[in-house]
Amino acid sequence: MKIQILGTAAAEGFPGIFCNCKHCKKARELGGKNIRTRSSTIIDDTLKIDFPPDTYHHVLTHNLDLSKVEHLLFTHTHMDHFNPKDLGMRTPGFAHDFPYPLHIYGHDAAIYKCKEVLWHTEGYFSFTLMQPFTTYQVGTAKVTPLLADHNPLETCLLFYIEKDGKRVFHGHDTGWFPESTWEWLRDKKIDVAILDCTNGLLPGRRNHLNIEAVLDIQKVFLERNMLTENGQVIATHFSHNIGLMHKDLEEIFAPSGIKVAYDGIVLET
């Protein structure tokens, strides 16, 4: 299985789109892995998680062929993950020479808002309203949405994805997982866990995680024997407010073996 993380920043980007703080200035100066765009992940070129406003940038930067994407999962509708208007470009007159429909999956607000924008595109998109803790066949993958601790006004989802004998846990945006999610995960195996680390060394593990919480989650995974022999934990979704460059994050996580994601990183499992 090939997993590519296309964006690794929080909502404002890193550097922040309007920000001139010392951390954003340093990221601009250093460039490279310190430049982070809004969040998305793609699996085996065909299954995409979230569709942020930076998607077109991802296409150009990472030479993506989005016509290969058959299935699109939405975690929630915050703007850094959800830009459904651009999906209208996947219709005749704007794009050519690929099959229809694009299958879109999500809960309540995500499906409602997609249909609100794409009301005139019947036949080009299909919509599946997902219920937490129910497993769905998504192409050749099995996907189980789990509850996140993120926006109390919306049902936000994490995803447990099984494909080709491998298991990926997409664990952001979220704070410490709700007990129902922990209980569902209890006896599951994980080959790759992609975890929210928005808050860095700042305090707090509600709505988003910090470094301490990521380390604690890895500890629980290990204590419960949830990670496979070569299982990987990946930290991503960083805010510029944490003031940490990519190298700083690598040094912090090195003792634990947790990898620090950067835009375009490819994971093979």
Per-residue pLDDT tens digits for 131-159: 999 999 999 999 999 999 999 999 999 99
Burial of 32 by CB count in 10 Å (0-12 exposed, 13-18 middle, 19+ buried)? Answer: exposed
Q: Is residue 17 predicted with pLDDT exceeding 90?
A: yes
Type of residue at 159: F
Terminal-residue alpha carbon distance, the chain: 5
Type of residue at 16: G
Per-residue pLDDT tens digits for 157-168: 999 999 999 999
Amino acid 194: pLDDT: 98
Amino acid 249: pLDDT: 98
Amino acid 121: pLDDT: 83
Can the peptide bond before residue 248 be classed as cis, meaning omega within 30 degrees of 0? no
Per-residue pLDDT tens digits for 66-123: 999 999 999 999 999 999 999 999 999 999 999 999 999 999 999 999 999 998 888 9
Record the pTM. 0.97
Can the peptide bond before residue 152 be classed as cis, meaning omega within 30 degrees of 0? no
> What is d(CA 177, CA 51) in angstroms, rounded to the nearest whole number?
23
> What is d(CA 207, CA 48) in angstroms, rounded to the nearest whole number?
23
Mean pLDDT of 49-71: 97
Tell me yes or no: is domain 2-268 CATH 3.60.15.10.
Answer: yes
Mean pLDDT of 259-266: 98
